Amino acid sequence: MNGTDLMFLYELLIENGNLGSYGITADHLQFLIGLAGMAILYYLLQPLMSLLIRLKWARALTYFSISFILLFFLTWFELYQGITDQGKMEFSDLASSSFSIVFFGIILLVSHLASELKRYVKRRYRKSAVR
């Protein structure tokens, strides 16, 4: 959602919907959108996190957690630059950072697959040596 979408939503609900007369402001609207987003993401991601915990995929869980935290801080930094005029606020920087997160994830995946393949070959070799 960009700023114009939020303004449209604000005009639709607050001004045209006469919700302003009930004391509802744009801050309340932002709060409700954030709350709805958190609830939706929680219920969408909770089964995935439970599955990762049951499968004991600590690397994947750590990767997802750190990626979200990193994106949060990078977004905060870009907004800070724009607010304080201490740099150029460019969200293309976030896209580059997102690419680095995906690239690191691919490296982790290849590393994990290589170690699993190595473990499989060792087990297979032991079974054939025992016979």
13-30 residue pLDDT tens? 666 666 667 777 767 777
For residue 7, pLDDT beyond 60: yes
Angstrom distances, CA of residue 123 to CA of 11, 94, 119? 65, 43, 6
- The pLDDT tens digits of the residues spanning 31-56 come to 887 888 889 988 988 998 888 888 88
C-beta separation of 25 from 14 below 8 A: yes
Indicate the pTM of the whole model. 0.59
Give me 77's structure tokens: 């930094």
